[in-house]
Structure 1
Amino acid sequence: MAILLNADTRIVVQGMTGWAGTHHTTQMMEYGSRVVAGVRPGKGGRSHLNLPVFDNVRGAKDATGADASIVFVPPASAAAAMLEAIEAEIPLVVTVTERVPALDMLRVREALKGSRTTLVGANSQGVLAPGLSKLGVMATGSERPGVVGVASRSASLTSEVVAQITAAGLGQSTTVGVGGDPVHGLSMRECLELFLADPDTRGVVLIGEIGGAEEQEVAEFVTGAKPSKPIVALIVGAHAPAERRMGHAGALALNGAAAAAAKTRALEKAGVRVAPSADLVGRTIADALARAH
């Protein structure tokens, strides 16, 4: 069983008529995702990719029963798109847009409090339930249905780790890109909790990196919860130059708690197995699962 979405999830695409929206909507539909409509203010009543286009999310939801949205909207307008989806009570919203202004995202975080919406992102590669649905921009081909949940801050390493897990014969229950920007929705800890509650996820892989405190929050949670399912982590950026942003807005190399070494120590102290290198993640989770049974 996947977390967050399934084969019946009905998807509306905000910004579908632009190049990125068109390209990735096509790929999602080819994967088998149930895309039911697009949203583009001023283009309501038209058709794109043989799907109806609406002026707003509320109209799209009312007409199609959509229960998920994906946002392909430029950074300056992305927060408004997320707020519109939250106000329309869309249960799941994925935002691909990178580097949404932090103040805008703080407003979005406030709107999420007490709402019916789970936001994944911004700067997320999306959510992938192998063989069921793809809500995002991640590469496909190496994923397989299976028992390992993956939560990642790094888009590029996700594909590598998914391929390793498949090669180990384990497959994935769901892969979630939690988002690489400093302020985002679903946290790595919250995603881990969803995987731990999923009866079909037997183990979890976390792909962390320098910057922020998400990995320390995971360590604190694991220390208190003492989950029985094995958890393997990979922390990248150990050799990043200090005080320099690496790759995207959330990966900022600093000394102290945000550094890779501090994150690794915290996770290991909590009982999480940390893979020694990126090429050993699949082997590490396979070994952890074998030891657990």
Structure 2
Amino acid sequence: MAILIDEHTRVVVQGITGRIGRFHTEEMISYGTQVVAGVTPGKGGDTVLDLPVFNTMKEAVAHTGATASIVFVPPPFAADALMEAADAGIRFCACITDGIPMHDMLKVKRYMRRYRAQQKMTLTGPNCAGTISPGRSLLGIMPGHIYLPGRVGVIGRSGTLGYEAASQMKALGLGVSTSVGIGGDPVNGTSFRDHLALFEADPDTDAVVMVGEIGGPQEVEGAEYVRQHMTKPVIAYIAGLSAPKGRKMGHAGAIVSGAGESAQEKIEILTAAGITVAPNPSCIGETVARVLAEHALLGRCSEVGSSPAVGGFSGATNPPIDHLQQHSTREN
């Protein structure tokens, strides 16, 4: 079992007729994702990559039974696309679009309050890389070949640092159950805390990696959840140790503007909550291996190929366990 998406998830691509939407739709299909339709207002009746295009999300869901969507809609119209997906009954939506105005996302957040918890759409992003359950389904723009199926969950504000964590883990024979990009904007759909709860309840996830950065309260809120509720080991990396206060670092939300938002403060709070923090990005994989070894989970988590292969995915040969043990005990 993975969280959010698996090989049975039926996906609608919002903005499929655009150049970027079409390109990543083809990539997702190649990976094995069940993309069943696209939506672009005014383009209903067309086809893209042999997929039907509908004018509205309600039409697409009614005809295909889709439960997930991915948004490649331009920023001025993206908020409406998100609310339309929620109204159509979509259960999980990944918004890739960057540059959505903050007030538009506040409108989306208010709009979502009308739904009861059991009916509410789970939204990741905006400005995120999407979600992947390796060997099962890809709903995003991640390079699928760097992910190995496994038992470590990944949650990241930064897409590229999430890729780096997965790549380092793969080199050590450690795979990922699901990797979730939550996005780097100040206002987004879900947080570290939301996905930590999902991973804690997932029987196929044994540990979780948090990839955070400066700015905002999400890492601190996640640390509090870990302290109070998590039974599984959590590893983290926080980007931006050298970032000056008041200056953006890449993402719109990566800016230190208040107490508890600097990288050093977050590292101290995470450590106090029992989370092991990697000292630099090149040590993420080794830190994961060391923590797994400390919890007697290394052998279990290095069993490659526990997920079904789809989309031409080929696993990787396990490195010997003693090799992983050497990495896990190396001093950082």
TM tier, shorter chain?
A: over 0.9
Amino acid at match of 2:64: T
Matches of 2:143 and 2:112 in 1, distance apart? 29
Give the match for residue 221 of structure 1. Answer: 225
Counterpart residue number, 1:267: 270
CA–CA separation in structure 2 for the residues paired with 1:69 and 1:150 = 20
Any idea what SS the aligned residue of 1:44 has?
coil
3-state DSSP of counterpart to 2:145: coil
Amino acid at match of 2:223: A
Contact 2:216–2:256 under 8 Å retained in 1: no
SS in 2 for 1:150: strand
CA distances 1:131-150 after superposition (whole Å, capped 9, x unpaired) = 11000011121211001000
Instruction: Specify the alignment match of 1:231 in structure 2.
Output: 234
SS of 1:123 mapped into structure 2: coil
Partner residue in 2 for 1:257: 260
Q: Give the 3-state SS of the residue equivalent to 1:141 in structure 2.
A: helix
Distance 2:167 2:140 in 1: 18
Distance (whole Å) between structure 1 residues aligned to residue 2 and residue 174 of structure 2: 15
Tell whether the 8 Å contact from 1:86 to 1:111 is kept in structure 2 after alignment: no
Q: Which residue of 2 aligns with 1:187?
A: 191
Q: Is 2:208 the partner of 1:204?
A: yes
Q: Is the 8 A contact 1:142 1:166 kept in 2?
A: yes
Alignment of 1:10-49 (within 5 A): 10-49=10-49
CA RMSD after TM alignment: 1.0
Q: Distance in 2 between matches of 1:142 and 1:5?
A: 18
CA–CA distance in 1 between the matches of 2:85 and 2:165?
31
Q: CA deviation at 1:255?
A: 5.4
Preserved CA contact (<8 Å) 2:157 2:183: yes
Q: Is 1:279 equivalent to 2:279 in the alignment?
A: no
Contact 1:71 1:96 in 2 (8 A): yes
CA–CA separation in structure 1 for the residues paired with 2:291 and 2:144: 25
Q: Is the 8 A contact 1:94 1:124 kept in 2?
A: yes
**Secondary structure of 1:206's aligned partner:** strand
Return 5+ residue gaps in structure 2 as ranges.
297-332
Q: Report the residue type matching 1:244 in the other structure.
A: R
1:55 aligns with 2:58: no
Between the aligned residues of both structures, percent identity stands at 49
Partners of 1:246 and 1:253 within 8 A in 2: no
- 1:287 is displaced (CA, Å) by 1.1
Structure 1 CA distance for aligned equivalents of residues 291 and 260 of structure 2: 27
Larger Rg over CA atoms = 2
Amino acid corresponding to residue 112 of structure 1 in structure 2: M
**How far does residue 250 in structure 1 lie from its aligned partner after superposition?**
1.0
More off after superposition, 173-182 vs 246-255: 246-255
What residue in structure 2 maps to residue 156 of structure 1? Answer: 160
State how far apart, in whole Å, the 2-side matches of 1:171 and 1:111 are. 37
Q: Residue 150 of structure 2 aligns to a residue in which SS?
A: strand
Contact preservation (8 Å) 1:235, 1:264:
yes
Find 1:170's aligned residue among 156, 170, 174: 174
Q: Which amino acid in structure 2 is aligned with residue 270 of structure 1?
A: A
Once residues 208 and 252 of structure 1 are traced to their aligned partners in structure 2, the CA distance between those partners, rounded to angstroms, is 12
Match of 2:87 in 1: 87
CA distance in 2, matches of 1:147, 1:222: 18
2-structure distance, mates of 1:32, 1:288: 32
Distance 1:185 1:105 in 2: 8
Give the match for residue 78 of structure 1.
78
Aligned to 2:148: 144
